Amino acid sequence: MSKIEICTDHTGKMEGIQSISTSTELNENCRKNALIKGSICSKCYAYNMCQMYKGLRERLKRNTATLTTKVLPMEDLPDVSDQTIFRLESFGDLNNETQLTNYLNIARKNPGTRFTLWTKMYKLAYEYFKKTKDIPDNFTLILSSLMVNLRMPLSKFKALKNGAGEALFAPGQLKVFTVYDKAYLESHLGEVDLNCGSRSCNTCRKCYAKNEVEEINEILKSDQSQVLVMEALEDPNKRAETADNLAALGTVFESI
């Protein structure tokens, strides 16, 4: 039986998707990034959530110990073949190459499941794939942009080759995820395609499907509710309901 603990009870946009994650608290890179002004890590929801929920905090710490200390035998890796898609790191990030090897081997053990890994450990991932020249067909790597409003380029990773001298990452296996705030979007109208609605990842699946989508863009969570309200007010079919909801919350609203 695998010692790796799987999160099966996500709520919100991750509802219906299972994941394996590690601790941000034990990840030196996560803690350094959290100190960078203007970084998405400075607004880390995962760290704050773990301070609120002790059970989650301890589970992620145990996963860090299990996944980063040694390459696990295939028989000790979880069987998640009943899942069509699976997320790697919904809370933490890569710590070392051992962890990345274990994640890739989980994908190899479950070839019928599509796995996606989000990471800001660009150098670690780049050097690893440059050296190994191998990635399972059912594995997608998403470079999670560190800075709000600044997309991480994919060019260096696109240039990587496999053992046959061909592009290592096939279409759909390499993407970038960037968060933008409302002020930037308003000053750069039409320049950013907000193609992540953050409502249901299980329904959307842009990050998981082997498709032509390379850039995934989301609005900062703290700005999102305001934008959703404005969109609803612009829709005649939703305007009355939205006005009623705002009134119930004690919000001043004038019909427009």
pLDDT level of residue 226 (50, 70, 90 thresholds)? low
Tokens for 106?
């989980």
Angle at 67 between CA 63 and CA 70, to 5 degrees: 145
As a whole number of angstroms, the distance between CA 82 and CA 10 comes to 17
Residue 150 confidence (pLDDT): 97
Task: Decide: 36 and 22 in contact? Cβ < 8 Å.
Answer: no
Cα Rg for the chain, rounded, in angstroms? 20
pLDDT tens digits, 206-215: 999 999 999 9
* pTM for the whole structure: 0.86
As a whole number of angstroms, the distance between CA 198 and CA 194 comes to 10
As a whole number of angstroms, the distance between CA 81 and CA 193 comes to 33
User: Residue 154 CA to chain centroid, in angstroms?
Assistant: 16
As a whole number of angstroms, the distance between CA 78 and CA 43 comes to 31
pLDDT tens digits, 36-79: 999 999 988 777 777 788 889 999 999 999 999 999 999 999 99
Burial 103-138 (b: 16+ CB within 10 A, else e): bbbbbbbbeebbbbbbbbbbebbeebbeebeebbeb
Q: 157: exposed, middle or buried (C-beta count within 10 Å: 0-12, 13-18, 19+)?
A: buried
Residue 198 confidence (pLDDT): 59
